[in-house]
Copies of this chain bind each other. A is one copy, B any other.
Amino acid sequence: MSVTLRPVFEPTRGLRSDRVTHYCPGCTHGVAHRLVAEVLEELGVLERTVGVASVGCSVLAYNYFLVDMQEAAHGRAPAVATGIKRVLPDRVVFAYQGDGDLAAIGMAEIVHAAARGENITVIFINNANYGMTSGQMAPTTLVGQRTTTTPLGRDPAQAGYPIRVAELLDTLDGPAYIARGSLHDTAHVLQAKRYIRKAFQAQLEGRGFSLVELLSSCPTNWGLEPVEALDFIRERLVPHYPLGELRKPEGVR
């Protein structure tokens, strides 16, 4: 009996294999990209997807995803995605946003896209700081966390409290699917992928707005080794940002 090798894991066709991302070593932005691309590939919609990149470390996402894309202004990806989806209701439209982009400057746009039940999917990368601009405080920065604009640690009396975006959006009637996952270990990566798949499925079924928040690492600005950065997610972020599905369309398990 001869033995052959059956593929267990191969790179997705949804990302360009000819380009290496600009992300720092161990940054889980790369994992999130892969999960989205895998889901789009598995759903068979790569050819009819339009993505929206936002301003943050993922600003160059359009260089990696093998789908048509638009680059949005800082914080405005949900508005841009809305414009696209209204013109092309039968295409799959997603926005990929960081926590500065979505939860600071873009708060109005995400709340209203969600309230409208806009039939788009938002992938929300919560890495508790502004990665791209070298580590300033984000709306999701934890109390006490040091950043370049909270050099002594975030003091809520001065700089306020972190925002739980998934919970905030869950007060609205528009969303069909809201979940928070994490990328800090393989089990959670696989769970995150299931969330992402359900989000896109909700869109394909025309159920309305879907969002997956992903706790993600920023080893560079956290000043941690990549593996330590995953520990930081598990030990510090997860307790403050509970994981799970907050909103599911009826009839979805």
Contacts and interface: CB of A to CB of B under 8 A. Distances in A.
Interface residues of A, number: 27
Interface string A137-150: 00100000000000
A73 interface: no
A60 B108 CA distance: 25
A219 interface: no
A105 B111 CA distance: 11
A106 B111 CA distance: 11
A172 B166 CA distance: 11
B172 A168 contact: yes
A160 B167 CA distance: 19
Interface in A141-194: 156-157, 159-164, 167-168, 170-174
Interface string A110-146: 0110011110000000000000000000010000000
A107 interface: yes
A30 B211 CA distance: 41
A171 B168 contact: yes
A69 interface: no
Nearest to A114: B160
A105 B104 contact: no
Contacts of A162: 115, 173
Given A104-B108, A117-B161, A161-B174, 4 more contacts: A107-B111, A116-B159, A160-B174, A168-B168
7 contacts: A115-B161, A115-B162, A156-B174, A160-B174, A161-B172, A161-B174, A170-B171
Interface of A: 104-108, 111-112, 115-118, 139, 156-157, 159-164, 167-168, 170-174
